[in-house]
Amino acid sequence: GDGPAVSASCPKQTGEIVALKKVALRRLEDGIPKQALREIKALQEIEDSQYVVQPKAVFPHGAGFVLAFEFMLSDLAEVVRHAQRPLTQAQVKSYLQMLLKGVAFCHANNIVHRDLKPANLLISASGQLKIADFGLARVFSPDGSRLYTHQVATGWYRAPELLYGARQYDQGVDLW
């Protein structure tokens, strides 16, 4: 997508393969991008969910920093695109169940993702689905008093209220 580059790495200290998401700082005086801060904040609120890609570390790198995450083999968009035949009903049910449990966990912890799409649903080598890319996520105000931007989510995946420019919305935007 348009976001930071992600690559795999295997640090000698742990021997565990991790995904590295490099975030460049365009200008030092601008500080850390809001999107990166939101992602870190959201991940702090929902760590330890088996349905959310887990962060491992954050460290400085050049004119920016790197977020290290658990390594996942692919994303749902790639799995569907390169499947030799359609996913079985059992696979679809399993993926949907993991997705809904992940979304429920996020919402129970007052996090609205705002960019759920196949490319942000990662699949492990064992077939575990986990939600990733919390760059557009927000800590959510359940009382409905806060205003949010409607310019979130990828076009084809936007909920109707976002398409119509709503600034007050709830977690339902993740279920569209």
Residues 122 and 53 sit within 8 Å (Cβ to Cβ): yes
Residues 113 and 137 sit within 8 Å (Cβ to Cβ): yes
Residues 6+ apart with CB under 8 A from 134: 38, 39, 42, 43, 111, 113
Residues 6+ apart with CB under 8 A from 95: 76, 87, 121, 129
Q: How many CB atoms lie within 10 A of CB 132?
A: 25
Catalytic residue status for 115: yes
Catalytic residue among 2, 48, 115, 170: 115
Per-residue DSSP letters for 48-79? T-TTBPPEEEEEEETTEEEEEEE--SEEHHHH
Active site residues: 115
